[in-house]
Structure 1
Amino acid sequence: MGMRSVWTYRAVFVGLSAVYLFFALLPFGAGEGGLPGPDLIFCLTAAWILRRPDYVPFWLLLLVLLVADFLLMRPLGLWALIVLLVSEYLRRRVDHGEVLTFWSEVAMVSACVVAAVLADHVALMLLLAETPPLAGQGLHALATIVFYPATIVFSRMIGVRRLAPGELDSLGTRA
């Protein structure tokens, strides 16, 4: 697969993230007491990194996450840092020789979502910042976990797949 294809998928990742942010900013939210939606950027990041880490390089993910923090009025850089740490953990877990089963991947990413939400909550508490209710954050984590399998299926549909054994990615890493 050529470099042009890698850059195409990077542009698709940015485009999908922009579409998510556009709809997240629309005033059609559930309002106070409503159910929080999933973090689809987190879902896309995890699904794509576990399949093709070269499609979502660190610098691109940092840029997307900082823009998301800014637009969604979250503490600038905190959620971005947490998602970057999770993404690097997942990037290190990519073993091209041993492919995770669908449900074991969902379980691993679910644990990462829960850890990320708890880390965010604890960091906000330690910084003496206003923390959203833990129940609301739990529902946000649950929504993200529920949407993750659909994100995997969607990613496969648009061509984000694992490398075949012996195939090289754009970084020259052998599968």
Structure 2
Amino acid sequence: MVDQRPSRVWLMRGLYLCLSLFIIFVHLLPLASAPSKWAPPDLILALTFAWAMRRPEYVPALFVGGVVLLADLLFQRPPGLSAALVVIGAETLRARATANRKMPYLAEWITVAGVMIGVAIAQRLMLSIFFLPAPSMSLVLIQLGMTIALYPIVVLISHFAFSVRRPAPGEVDALGHRL
């Protein structure tokens, strides 16, 4: 059984914050002098959704909102839009986490892909409603496709490197509540 002491939960929350800040840092590095013709995958979204599906207590809404709001500000996106949509998506997955434990991995991947597509559509819709400039549809589709394609790799790395696994049947936390 996995140790679910409060110190472990806070350690994993800190790890989520550090990984997210590292991803933001890497995105901000000036690695190319010419603009690229493709958009990199949204690894923060994939990481957040992978951890929300496997261990929702590791990614509380406040942390998710803060990390994505920081990314919005640093990547010069409309502040709060992505943050709100990712929090809604993560909370949707969190609400279904108990039911998702019994589903096979392919069904989990399809569920997460559906939520990612919903977030992208909602973001595009909100940008058009408020007449804000939106990135080209091809860039959005490339980023979305790459994020969905990299989700299994993020899950594998989370599983083997950071021990973010689905709770075992009958597993309880430090207070005796079923996970």
Q: Cα deviation per residue 1:64-110 (whole Å; 9 max; x = unaligned)?
A: 11111111111000000110111111011111684221111111111
Identity between Structure 1 and Structure 2 (%): 34
Q: How many residues align?
A: 175
Provide the C-alpha distance between the structure 2 equivalents of 1:97 and 1:127, rounded to a whole number of angstroms: 35
User: Counterpart of 1:131?
Assistant: 134
Provide the C-alpha distance between the structure 1 equivalents of 2:164 and 2:48, rounded to a whole number of angstroms: 12
The CA RMSD measured in Å over matched residues stands at: 1.7
SS at match of 1:81: helix
Does structure 1 residue 16 correspond to structure 2 residue 19? yes
Contact 1:54 1:171 in 2 (8 A): no
Does structure 1 residue 60 correspond to structure 2 residue 63? yes
Structure 1 residues 16-95: aligned runs within 5 Å: 16-29=19-32, 31-95=34-98
Which sections of structure 1, spanning at least 5 residues, go unmatched? Answer: none
User: Counterpart of 2:122?
Assistant: 119
Comparing 24-33 with 5-14, greater Cα deviation is found at: 24-33
Does structure 1 residue 140 correspond to structure 2 residue 126? no
User: Counterpart of 1:160?
Assistant: 164
Relative distance call for 1:56 and 1:98 in structure 2 (3 A) is closer
Contact 1:49 1:87 in 2 (8 A): yes
Provide the C-alpha distance between the structure 1 equivalents of 2:84 and 2:26, rounded to a whole number of angstroms: 23
Relative distance call for 1:97 and 1:106 in structure 2 (3 A) is closer
Provide the C-alpha distance between the structure 2 equivalents of 1:107 and 1:31, rounded to a whole number of angstroms: 35
Contact 2:53 2:100 in 1 (8 A): no
Relative distance call for 1:42 and 1:30 in structure 2 (3 A) is farther
Shift of 1:168: 1.8
Relative distance call for 1:9 and 1:134 in structure 2 (3 A) is same
Q: Which residue type is aligned with residue 40 of structure 2?
A: G
Shift of 1:170: 5.8
Provide the C-alpha distance between the structure 1 equivalents of 2:107 and 2:27, rounded to a whole number of angstroms: 29
SS at match of 2:167: coil
Shift of 1:173: 3.9
What's the TM-score, normalizing by structure 1? Answer: 0.93
Of 160, 169, 173, the match for 2:173 = 169
Provide the C-alpha distance between the structure 1 equivalents of 2:117 and 2:174, rounded to a whole number of angstroms: 32
SS at match of 1:95: helix
Contact 2:73 2:79 in 1 (8 A): yes
Q: Which residue type is aligned with residue 165 of structure 1?
A: P
What's the TM-score, normalizing by structure 2? Answer: 0.91
